[in-house]
Structures are given as C-alpha cells and as structure tokens.
C-alpha cells in the first residue's frame, strides 16, 4: 500500500505522520509539496497537522485553496481515502470535503494533552482496527478544534452514522468535562457521505509507539492498511 | 542628517570616555548612522562590557565540547557523528512591556541561534519568573507570556518540553523570560558565522526590514523607571510561520555547499550580524542598503541598520551559488537578496541611494568595545539558621498539603498544556513536562537527550557562590535522575544594575559558584547570555543565573521517569540528610521567613551519589527516580506518588533531627528511587560509600507516614492541580 | 480603491471569543455590557479604480477566502 | 447603545496575518492587491443610553482590555 502525505508551508506533523505510515504500510510514503497539482496514484492521502500558512486568517483556510487541494478533492470524489488530522481536518472542512467548521476552543487556549475518544463506528476503513465502542487514549494539540455545524448537518451526521470519534472520559462516557474544546455533540472526528474521507482533531500518530507513552493510535494505521490493502 | 549634539550622544548611551574612544577610532566625528552603529555594538547587550571579565572565568572545555561560547550556540558531541546545539537567551524587558510578543519573539530569536548553526531544533524550554501572585500585573503577564511562548513554538512545530515557573516579589517590575532551544546537527554539517573571501556575496534572507524595535538592544541595557512604560519603544511582532519556512529553507540550503558563513539577525539586527561575521572572518564588508528588502517606505540607513525586525538571516555564499540558493528560498516563499560583498578593506562601508552613508573600521570597533572591571563587593555570608527558632508544625500532613498547593510547588500543567510538547514525535512518554528532565529521542535512533532548566534564586540571593553551585548541581541532578549523563550547560545570567557594587558582587559570586560546580561535575558551559539592569526604581531582582542543562542517554529504553510504576516496591532515599532548613521553601511558605544560609553543596558527594544513581538506573535496578530540591524529601516523595497515581507507606527511620527538618529540609545531592530489591541496592550503595536508607514502600492510595498521619493522594492532587487554573481563571 | 471588509459570525453561531471578552469586561467592573461579538476587520488596497468593480472583486475575495460562509457573514465597503 | 469598535495594528507594526492574506489572494489570482491589514471588529451592546457616556465607556474598555495600545490603535463608533 502506498500513502501520500501532503506538505503545506507551515505543516509540522508531516514527519510524524510519515513515520507512522512508513511503519504501518512498510513503504516510504510519498511526500507531496502543496504547490504540486499532480502526483502519483496512491491508496491513501494524508493531510497532516501543523499550522499551514501560520493558521493566519482561519486555521486551514489558505491551504484549502492550494493547487494540490483541487487534485485531492477530485481523488476523494473518486473514492480515494483521505485522512485529515488536526490542521488536516481544518483544511478538509475549509475545502468543503467535510461539513461544518472548527472554531476556536471554548476556553480560547491552545490545548496539548492526552484525551479519551470513543470509536463511534468501525464501518469505515479508517477505524477498521477498532471495535465500535472502544475507548482510546490519544493526544490533542490544537487551538481551533471546536466542531460546529448547523442543526441539519448535525442531524445528518448522526443519522448517517458519520461521527467517527467522540470525546469521552476514560470510561467512555460523554460529559462536559471530557469535552476539551466545546465541540458540538462532543465530536472529535467525522466522515464524509461516502465514508472515504475522515477528519479528526486528535493525533493518532503521536501515540503509535510505546516509548512515547501508548499505542492506541497505531491500531488506526494498522486497521487502515488491512482495510485498504 | 541630524547633528551630533551632546544630547544625541547621551541618548545613545555613551559615557564621555566611550565617546572619546569613538572619535579616536573614527578619526573624525561620526554621522548619525555611524553613531547608532557604535551605540548598539557597544551596548551592554551586544558587548557584554560589564560581564566579559567574569564570563571568561567559566570552564568551557571537555573532550565532548565541539564549540564553546562565542558562536550563536554551543555544540557538543552526542556520538554517531551527531551533535547537540543549544543556548538559552533572555527576553525580559520586551516581555514585560508586551508579554505575548515579547515572549514569542524571544522564542523565535533563540530558535534562529540554533538553526543558524545547521541544527534542526528539536526542543524548547522556558524559564519564567514573575512577580508575586498578588501583584496586580502578574496574572496578565503570565497569561501573555505563556500564550506567546506557546503561540510561537507550537506554530513552528518544535516541542516545548520543559521549564520553570516561579513567583517572587523581586520580579514585580522585571519579569524574567528565558528561552532555550536544543537542536541536533550532523557534525559534518555545522555552520559558523565567520565571513571569509573578499568578493564573496552577502545575502539577506527571510522577512523584510521594518522599523521594529529600533534601540531594542540599548533598551535591554538600561534600568526601568515608572515612566519607561509610557515611553514604550516599538515592539517587535513575531511571525512564526515565516520562521518555520526559514528553518526549512536554511536546513535545505545547508545540505548543499553554498554557504560559507551564516548568522541570524538578533539584537541590533543587521549591524551586529554583519560586524560579527566580518570581524570573525577578518574581512571588510560593503552593503548596498537599497538592496535590503524593506517593509516600509523611506527607511533611513540608520533605521535599517538598527532595526530588530524578526525572522531574518545574513549569509555569505560561495560565488556562483546565488541562483541555487535563491531557488530554495523562493520555493519557501521568502525574500532573498544579494545585498553586498566582502572586501579586504577591513572597513564596513554602507551605500544608500548612491551615496556612502557610513564607513567604519571593523576590528577597532568590534574588538575595542568597552570592557569594564566594575567594582564589586562580595555578599556577606548569612549565618546558619538556628534550628531552635523553627518550631515543629502542629500537623505535618496539613503542612505538606499547604505546600503542595502553594504557587511555588503547585503543578504548572496549566502552562505546559498550552505548549505542544509532543510534536516531532520523539518526546518520550515519561519524559514529558512534569518530571525532572525532559527526554526527547534523537530522531531515528535509540538515543535520547535529557534537558532541564534550573535555578534557586533565593539561595543565590542569600549566598551567590553557594547558589551558583546549587543551580549547576540541581541541573546535573535532574538529568542524572532520568539515567542520562549530563554533558554541558548554557547559562542565562539575570541580574540587577551592575554599576552597583553589591549587584556586581552577586554576579561575581554566582560565576564563581557555577565554575566550581562545572569543574567538579565535568559539566562545562558552552553558551550563555547575560541580562543586566533588571531593576525598577532601584530595586533589583534576585540574582538569577538560570542553568540550562543537556545530557544524553545511549539507550532511551533504560531511562526512567519520576512516577512510581508499581505497588509494593521499596523506596530508598539516596544521599545524606541533615535536615537543612536555612533558606528553605518550608521556612518561606510556612514560617514566612527567608533567613539562614542555603544548603551547602558538597560537590564531591554530589558527583559520587549521582554517578551511583545513574549506574543503578542503567543497570535497571531502579524503576523510577526523582531528585530532591524545593520542599525536600516529603515533597519529592509526594510528587512521585502523584505522577505514579499510587500511594506510599513510610516507616520513619530513627531520626537525628526534628521531624519537620527531615520532611522538608533541602539537603543537596539526594534522590528518591523505587526498586524491587532494596537489599541489593543498599549493599551496592554501602560498598561505594554512598548514603542510602530504605524509607518505605509504594502502594495504596495515601501518603501514609507511620505514627504521623495519612493524606489521600487525591486530596493532594486537587490542591496541587487546582492552584494555577484557579489563579489564572 | 480601498475595501473595508467586516467578517462576523452568523447569528446562532456561538462566539467563544465574544463571550470571553464580555466576561472579562464584567470582571473589570464594566456594567451593562451585553452581546459582545468579535469579528475580523480587513482593509485591502485595490488597484481597481471603478467602485462597482472593486466591490465585486472584494466580495469575490470574501467568498473564496476571507470568510467561511458556513459560519460567517461578511460586508464590504469601498472607499 | 451599540458600540462598534475597530482595533487595528499601528502603522509600521508587522502584520503577519495581513501579509499572509495578501499573499494568498495573489495566488488565488486576484491582481492589484496591496497593503492588506487585518484587525479586530468588536460589537458591544451597552445599557448606557447617553451617547457621550457610552463612547467614554467604550474607549475605556479599549484602553483596559480590547486593544493592546503598545501595538494597536482603536476607534469607537456609537450607534
Ligand atoms: N514554564 C514551564 N514550561 C514547561 N514546563 C514547565 C514550566 N514550569 C515548570 N515546568 C515543568 O514542571 C516540572 C517541575 O518543575 P520544577 O519544580 O522546576 O522541577 P525541578 O524541581 O525538577 O527542577 C518540570 O518537569 C518542568 O519542566
Ligand atoms: Mg528535579
């Protein structure tokens, strides 16, 4: 399986994702520079975290207009799996591949810490490595992760089972305390209609190595590889 | 161009003697641009005129030192052809005036010092000191500084993995923001600042030059008074996004052989960078100021030379490589301009709009910068604390609870959770903030760097020599406690007005203490920074020589954290306890007094104890380890319990001191460890002449001390975790 | 021509920044403060000299980049 | 009364956001775009009914909280 990692000016989790994908796929991911409007066929497109264009104006806004995004949108529409993590999620909403928007954290502060997530559906390649209901410990690191969508969109997401992850406590229960950024419906990650695009704020690539404090994120990449390959 | 009047000379900070020297060097009256250049080059900030004499006494050598002080950052050998490059720098004055941007640009500046040398920055640390918690400005300053450190570091994608945060009234009018960056380079790809080869092109890269922070360097060299807040100079605004691009572009160019010399534009911007490069390489420089990328219209030569706009670098390239270099900077969407060339004239000649606007001899100006032997008086040694004057507290456990929830000891999680401390994917789980030293793996290897920043200003104030030693020893100990070998330090000397003999005496004393400890511990100084004049209305800060330490562990898998990892392990105290309460946090917090002598550091014992502990960690005889510092034994033990989320049961040994002195005394050179085999550990300690005593076992959910009392760990956690969020709310 | 652009959150979109400002003003002792909303103000110099064209251009910029119309409204003035 | 407050960076202060927006507009194909500056726009409902007093109050809020007068200017309109 071959993955591509998209690098924007200001991306800074590109290497982290490259490492996780290299280990999971056994292949060197293709690193694609944002200015490239075409790149080789791949089985997975990953949009990493960071501060593309400094997150100036709005997180992800400028990267969403980059030449490479037109290509990514076209491939996503053809069914190629696209994974956006953190800034990648913000870019995917800004580009319209995913609905809603990621607003400033309710407490207005940047937050970097381990949180708990509940897997809401494993009916997508991205979460095949988990069982629905699994509770994961994975870090977040963002300033703008407060998921917002209008009521109709939220209903649609819920009805179509497109919420992939929700913030919970260690026991898998939702609560205001366990919602680190004020996201509506405690949403941490969502899927597009075709379930081939996933955006999530938490960073599975950061806890994919026991030495770094945990391996819950690793199962995501392993499951993805099994589902795609 | 304005006239050089006595007022103009004074406002540029020259003494009569200094100005006479300017005239002598120039052989004529300087023009404004030239005067401005002299003034920043000879400012305290750039010339180190008050401190040079003493800095030279610091030990800077060891077989593993590749580059000591004098370059942008220090460099040490970390094996496998790799090097660690690091430095700490202050941004105190700007952060007081504009906390967010001041702190942010401080981080930006220290990052540039490190990647200028060819290293990829892999970790940031920040040592913060604020006024007392009830001072009306403190909250605002804390929130701005922390947001600024995070805002910059998070955006550039370098993890901020450690630091310090302390509150004390002596910083009410002068907060300290000391930022440290550690980078990793290949030893065959290290870059220095010397410019060589007449005719070679000088290239400007990065952001455009604006009128930012003109006189920043001179501002950092004068004392504050109440009206300096009104006279706020232009503050620089940081652009971390551009910095990130600059890091990538510079590191990409450094993979080629285009660069001869490279230097970031820090304090005194274009002036100091061009002078330093030329002076080190023994060449002359000609700059065409029309070629300097400018953000604003009608900038004068004076403004361009003194601007402190951020995110800029100066390079000397091999002739003919300009196009190749330019392509890289264009790819990263950064300005690139060939703005001059090296000459063999020994002069700096500036052209602007077709005219020569300055012509200065380089060496005389750079090398003849003033150096003072300022008068100093040694600080009188305080008498030892009379133990009879320290009554036992009524309730030891309540005292512990109060201390753990105090601003000094409360968790600083509120700070580090605003810092991305995991980006780059190498921060070890037990090496995240909250432990002794932060642990960051050297990417793609088994090795890890251990990093810490330390200083106990209340000790330095009471006895600068002892305090200087202690700061270095604590740094060494924090690295040792992870299993890593301490290798070298960077020092950030923050003091008051050096023109006062008592303050100069503090500086001299701290230098002496630092030197002694560095020598005894084989822990040389490879870089540093001095910030003087931290005074407001004649009131100086506590002497604060912040020590940034770096160590290495070959096999990161053998490193340990501070948290208890299992129940029913033996807890052993290593190092000698005498119950030293002088200058202790206990006295300050509980008895509301600060007298007595600080705990003496026995450097030979320090080394022996630390070497023993490290060897035991590497032999996997120890499952977690924490050095003892502020608050002493009981505080250290509680921190291990909190981090490990389990309790401890302590059986009091036979005590030759009052219980509270045993609990909270700050004797140096001590560690608490947990082990599965206490008899073996005690036997090895004894055979090596190291003090060690079994004090209890891990387990349960309380801190339980036989015959004294019990306190649930969760109760302590609440007090410990809640203080800072509640204070900042 | 100069375009002055205001980008504000739509009604019904929670504004955490505005809320925080409101709260902070309250704790500073300002009374009677309500409904604080925080948006962006962007000024752009356009080389276009025809006001109508400049306005069209600025609106186009808002649609394409400056505003996220999922959550934000914008208004354009040309001077 | 409603206070409309604009907070903008002082002249000469670097505006990284404005600079980045300018750049992005250029890459989106908008020509003739210059000097993009980004500031804040804040709306506040005040219970104060006297316009002069409302203005004084709003200015006071700017000085104390809304603007960072080291690097920012502000302007207040009351409606
Ligand atoms: N400003 C800060 N930034 C990041 N981490 C911090 C900061 N202040 C304190 N910490 C972290 O809190 C922990 C405790 O700090 P400290 O009490 O100074 O440790 P020690 O006594 O071991 O030197 C350390 O892990 C330190 O890195
Ligand atoms: Mg320690």
Determine the topology of domain C2-78 in CATH.
Mth169; Chain: A , (3.30.1280)
Give yes or no for residue B590 having a pLDDT over 70. yes
Q: How far is CA B227 from CA A192, B230, C71, D71, in A?
A: 58, 5, 45, 18
Q: Which chain A residue shows the shortest CA-CA distance from B430?
A: A213
**Is the pLDDT higher at B231 or at A5?**
A5
Report residue B231's pLDDT band, with 50, 70 and 90 as the boundaries.
Answer: very low
Q: For residue range A17-45, what is the model confidence (pLDDT) as tens digits? A: 999 999 999 999 999 999 887 899 999 99
Chains in touch with C (≥3 Cβ pairs < 8 A): A, D
C65 Cα to chain A: minimum distance (Å): 7
**Ligand 1 contact via B43 beta carbon (within 6 Å):** no
The pLDDT value recorded for residue B232 is 39
Tokens of B569: 């392990």
Lowest-confidence range among A185-194, B93-102, C52-61, D6-15?
Answer: D6-15
**Ligand 1 contact via B436 beta carbon (within 6 Å):** yes
**Cβ contact (<8 Å) for A100 and C68?**
no
The pLDDT value recorded for residue B369 is 82
Query: CB of B644 within 8 A of CB of B698?
Result: yes
Of D24, D34, D38, the CB nearest to C45: D34
Beta strands in chain A (DSSP E): 3-7, 30-33, 44-47, 82-85, 101-103, 111-119, 135-142, 146-148, 163-168, 187-191, 197-200
Q: Is B287 helix (H, G, I), strand (E, B) or coil?
A: strand
Residue (of C29, A23, A50) closest to B241 by Cα position: A50
Find the Cα–Cα–Cα–Cα dihedral B421, B427, B432, B435, rounded to 10°: -140
Instruction: Give me the total of CB pairs closer than 8 Å, taking one residue from chain A and one from chain C.
Output: 38
Domain boundaries, chain A: 3-228
B683, containing H or E segment: helix B678-687
Report residue B267's pLDDT band, with 50, 70 and 90 as the boundaries.
Answer: confident
Residue (of B411, B415, B441, B455) closest to B123 by Cα position: B441
CB contact D27 to A (< 8 Å): yes
A163-168, strands of its sheet edge to edge: A30-33, A3-7, A44-47, A82-85, A197-200, A187-191, A163-168, A111-119, A135-142
Find the DSSP H helices in B602-649.
603-618, 632-644
The pLDDT value recorded for residue B46 is 82
Q: What is the mean pLDDT of residues D42-51?
A: 94
Pocket test for ligand 1, best of B106, B164, B408 (most atoms within 8 A of CB): B164
Q: How far is CA A106 from CA A157, B455, C15, D37, in A?
A: 22, 36, 9, 26
Give yes or no for residue B651 having a pLDDT over 50. yes
Apex A126 CA angle, A125 and A128, nearest 5: 60
Catalytic residue flag (residue A34): no
**Is the pLDDT higher at B241 or at C15?**
B241
Q: For residue range A135-164, what is the model confidence (pLDDT) as tens digits? A: 999 999 999 999 999 999 999 999 999 999
Distance CA(B41)–CA(B38), nearest Å, equals: 5
Q: What is the mean pLDDT of residues A78-89?
A: 98
Report residue B6's pLDDT band, with 50, 70 and 90 as the boundaries.
Answer: confident
Lowest-confidence range among B236-250, B598-612, D5-19?
Answer: D5-19
Residue (of B67, B321, B78) closest to B194 by Cα position: B67
Q: What is the mean pLDDT of residues A108-120?
A: 97
The pLDDT value recorded for residue B541 is 97
The pLDDT value recorded for residue B29 is 94
Report residue B606's pLDDT band, with 50, 70 and 90 as the boundaries.
Answer: very high
**Reported CATH class of domain A3-228:** alpha beta
Q: For residue range B142-198, what is the model confidence (pLDDT) as tens digits? A: 999 999 999 999 999 999 999 999 999 999 999 999 999 999 999 999 999 999 999
Cβ contacts of residue A10 below 8 Å, gap of 6+?
A: A50, A51, A52, A53, A54, A55, A63, B155, B241, B244, B245
Q: For residue range B447-462, what is the model confidence (pLDDT) as tens digits? A: 999 999 999 999 999 9
The pLDDT value recorded for residue B229 is 42
The overall average pLDDT reported for chain B is: 94
**Ligand 1 contact via B44 beta carbon (within 6 Å):** no
**Is the pLDDT higher at B227 or at A72?**
A72
Query: CB of A139 within 8 A of CB of A213?
Result: no
State the DSSP string of B32-58: HHHHHHHHHHTSHHHH-TTTHHHHTTS
CB contact A53 to D (< 8 Å): yes
What is the CA B124 to chain-centroid distance, rounded? 10
Distance CA(B553)–CA(B448), nearest Å, equals: 5
Ligand nearest to the CA of B451: 1
Query: CB of B459 within 8 A of CB of B496?
Result: no
B240, containing H or E segment: helix B240-254
Q: What is the mean pLDDT of residues B579-598?
A: 97
Cβ contacts of residue A219 below 8 Å, gap of 6+?
A: A129, A130
Cβ contacts of residue B329 below 8 Å, gap of 6+?
A: B205, B249, B253, B335, B336
Tokens of B21: 């020297």
**Cβ contact (<8 Å) for A182 and C16?**
yes
Give percent of chain B above pLDDT 70: 97
Report residue B215's pLDDT band, with 50, 70 and 90 as the boundaries.
Answer: low
Give yes or no for residue B224 having a pLDDT over 90. no
Catalytic residue flag (residue A143): no
Give yes or no for residue A102 having a pLDDT over 50. yes
Distance CA(B542)–CA(B119), nearest Å, equals: 34
Distance CA(B318)–CA(B324), nearest Å, equals: 11
Is 0.90 topped by the overall pTM? yes
Pairing of strands B201-206, B335-343: antiparallel
The pLDDT value recorded for residue B216 is 53
Q: How far is CA B329 from CA B158, B208, B689, in A?
A: 21, 13, 59
Chain C residues inside the 8 Å CB shell of D38: 40-42
**Cβ contact (<8 Å) for A112 and B422?**
yes
Distance CA(A21)–CA(A27), nearest Å, equals: 8
The pLDDT value recorded for residue B653 is 85
Distance CA(B515)–CA(A119), nearest Å, equals: 56
Atom of ligand 1 at shortest distance to CA of B437?
25
Q: For residue range B18-29, what is the model confidence (pLDDT) as tens digits? A: 999 999 999 999
Give percent of chain B above pLDDT 90: 88
Report residue B230's pLDDT band, with 50, 70 and 90 as the boundaries.
Answer: very low
| For ligand 1, atom 2: residue with the closest CA | B163
Ligand nearest to the CA of B453: 1
Write out residues in chain C with pLDDT < 50, as ranges.
none
CB contact B238 to A (< 8 Å): no
The pLDDT value recorded for residue B13 is 86
Pairing of strands A197-200, A82-85: parallel
Distance B515 CA to ligand 1 centre (A): 24
Q: Is B313 helix (H, G, I), strand (E, B) or coil?
A: strand
The pLDDT value recorded for residue B228 is 47
CB contact D44 to C (< 8 Å): yes
State the DSSP string of B136-178: TTHHHHHHHHHHHHHHHHHHHT--EEEEEEEE-GGGSS--EEE
Distance CA(D45)–CA(D3), nearest Å, equals: 6
Whether this model's ipTM surpasses 0.90 comes out as yes
**Cβ contact (<8 Å) for C41 and D65?**
no
The pLDDT value recorded for residue B225 is 53
Residues forming a β-bridge with C4: C43, C77
The pLDDT value recorded for residue D12 is 83
Lowest-confidence range among B192-201, B216-225, B454-463, B482-491?
Answer: B216-225
**Cβ contact (<8 Å) for B151 and A19?**
no
Q: For residue range B39-59, what is the model confidence (pLDDT) as tens digits? A: 988 888 888 888 999 999 999
Give yes or no for residue B421 having a pLDDT over 90. yes
């Amino acid at each position: 399986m071959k993955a591509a990692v998209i690098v924007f000016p200001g991306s800074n989790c590109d290497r982290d994702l490259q490492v996780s994908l290299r280990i999971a796929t056994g292949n060197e991911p293709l690193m694609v520079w944002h200015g490239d409007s075409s790149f080789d066929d791949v089985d997975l497109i990953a949009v990493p975290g960071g501060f593309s264009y400094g997150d100036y104006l709005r997180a992800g806004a400028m990267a969403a207009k980059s030449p490479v995004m037109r290509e990514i949108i076209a491939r996503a529409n053809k069914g190629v799996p696209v994974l956006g993590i953190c800034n990648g999620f913000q870019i995917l909403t800004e580009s319209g591949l995913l609905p809603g928007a990621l607003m400033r954290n309710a407490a207005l502060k940047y937050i970097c810490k381990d949180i708990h997530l509940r897997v809401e559906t494993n009916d997508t390649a991205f979460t095949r490595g988990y069982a629905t209901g699994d509770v994961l410990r994975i870090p977040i690191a963002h300033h703008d992760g407060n998921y917002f969508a209008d009521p109709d969109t939220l209903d649609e997401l819920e009805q179509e089972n497109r919420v992939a992850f929700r913030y919970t406590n260690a026991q898998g229960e939702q609560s205001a305390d366990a919602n680190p950024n004020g996201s509506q419906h405690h949403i941490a990650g969502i899927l597009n209609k075709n379930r081939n695009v996933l955006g999530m704020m938490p960073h599975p690539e950061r806890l994919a190595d026991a030495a770094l404090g945990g391996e819950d994120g690793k199962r995501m990449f392993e499951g993805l590889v099994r589902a795609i390959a | 161009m304005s006239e050089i009047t006595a007022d103009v000379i004074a406002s540029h900070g020259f003494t009569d003697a200094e100005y006479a020297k300017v005239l002598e060097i120039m052989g004529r009256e300087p023009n404004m641009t030239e005067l401005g250049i002299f003034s920043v080059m000879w400012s305290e900030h750039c010339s180190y005129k008050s401190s040079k004499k003493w800095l030279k006494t610091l030990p800077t050598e060891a077989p593993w030192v590749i580059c000591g002080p004098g370059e942008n950052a220090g460099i040490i050998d970390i094996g496998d052809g790799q090097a660690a490059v690091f430095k700490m720098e202050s941004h105190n004055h700007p952060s007081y005036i504009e906390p967010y941007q001041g702190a942010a640009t401080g981080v930006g500046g220290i990052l540039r010092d490190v990647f200028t040398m060819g290293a990829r920055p892999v970790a940031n640390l920040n040592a913060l000191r604020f006024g007392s918690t009830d001072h009306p400005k403190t909250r605002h300053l804390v929130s701005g500084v922390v947001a600024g450190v995070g805002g910059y570091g998070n955006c550039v994608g370098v993890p901020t993995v450690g630091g310090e945060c302390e509150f004390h009234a002596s910083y009410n009018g002068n907060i300290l923001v000391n930022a440290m960056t550690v980078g990793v380079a290949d030893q065959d790809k290290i870059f220095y600042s010397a410019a060589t080869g007449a005719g070679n092109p000088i290239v400007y890269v990065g952001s455009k030059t604006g009128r930012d922070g003109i006189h920043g360097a001179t501002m950092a060299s004068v004392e504050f008074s109440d009206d300096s807040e009104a006279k706020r100079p232009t503050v620089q605004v940081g652009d971390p996004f551009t910095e990130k691009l600059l890091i990538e572009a510079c590191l990409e160019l450094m993979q080629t052989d285009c660069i001869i010399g490279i230097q970031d534009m820090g304090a005194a911007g274009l002036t100091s960078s061009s002078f330093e490069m030329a002076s080190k390489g023994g060449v002359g420089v000609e700059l065409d100021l029309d070629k300097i990328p400018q953000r604003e219209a009608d900038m004068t030569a004076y403004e361009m030379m003194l601007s402190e706009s951020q995110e800029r670098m100066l390079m000397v390239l091999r002739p003919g490589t300009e196009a190749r270099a330019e392509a890289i900077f264009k790819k990263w969407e950064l300005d690139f301009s060939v703005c001059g060339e090296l000459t063999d004239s020994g002069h700096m000649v500036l052209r602007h709009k077709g005219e020569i606007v300055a012509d200065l001899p380089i060496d005389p100006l750079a090398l003849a910068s003033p150096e003072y032997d300022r008068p100093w008086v040694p600080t009188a040694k305080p008498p030892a604390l009379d133990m009879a004057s320290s009554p036992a507290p009524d309730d030891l456990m309540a005292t512990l609870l109060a201390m753990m929830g105090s601003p000094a000891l409360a968790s600083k999680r509120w700070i580090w959770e605003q810092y991305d401390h995991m980006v780059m994917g190498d921060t070890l789980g037990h090496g995240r903030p909250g432990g002794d030293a932060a642990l960051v793996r050297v990417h793609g290897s088994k090795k890890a760097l251990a990093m810490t920043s330390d200083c106990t200003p209340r000790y330095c104030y009471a006895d600068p020599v002892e305090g200087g030693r202690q700061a270095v020893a604590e740094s060494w100990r924090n690295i040792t406690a992870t299993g890593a070998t301490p290798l070298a330090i960077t020092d950030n000397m923050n003091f008051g007005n050096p023109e006062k003999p008592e303050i100069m005496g503090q500086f001299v004393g701290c230098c002496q203490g630092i030197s002694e400890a560095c020598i005894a511990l084989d822990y040389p100084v490879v870089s540093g920074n001095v910030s003087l004049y931290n005074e407001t209305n004649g009131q100086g800060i506590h002497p604060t020589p912040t020590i940034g330490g770096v160590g290495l562990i070959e096999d990161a898998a053998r490193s340990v954290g501070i948290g208890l990892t299992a129940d029913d392990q033996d807890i052993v105290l290593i190092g000698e306890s005498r119950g030293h309460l002088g200058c202790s946090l206990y006295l300050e917090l509980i008895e509301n007094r600060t007298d007595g002598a600080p705990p003496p550091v026995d450097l030979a014992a320090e080394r022996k104890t630390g070497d023993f502990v490290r060897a035991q960690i590497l032999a996997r005889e120890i499952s977690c380890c924490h050095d003892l510092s502020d608050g002493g034994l009981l505080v250290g033990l509680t921190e291990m319990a909190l981090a490990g989320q389990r309790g401890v049961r302590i059986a009091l040994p036979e005590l030759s001191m009052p219980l509270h002195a045993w609990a909270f005394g700050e004797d140096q050179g001590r560690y608490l460890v947990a082990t599965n085999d206490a008899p073996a550990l005690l036997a090895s300690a004894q055979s090596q002449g190291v003090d060690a005593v079994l004090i209890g076992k891990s387990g349960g959910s309380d801190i339980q001390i036989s015959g004294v009392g019990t306190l649930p760990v969760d109760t302590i956690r609440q007090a410990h975790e809640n203080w800072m969020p509640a204070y900042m709310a | 021509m100069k375009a002055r652009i205001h980008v504000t959150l739509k009604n019904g979109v929670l504004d955490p920044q505005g809320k925080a400002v409101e709260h902070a003003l309250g704790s500073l002792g300002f009374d009677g403060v309500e409904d604080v909303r925080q948006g962006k103000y962007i000024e752009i110099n356009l080389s276009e000299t025809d006001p109508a064209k400049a306005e069209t251009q600025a609106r186009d910029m808002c649609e394409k980049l400056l505003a996220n119309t999922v959550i934000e409204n914008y208004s354009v003035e040309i001077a």
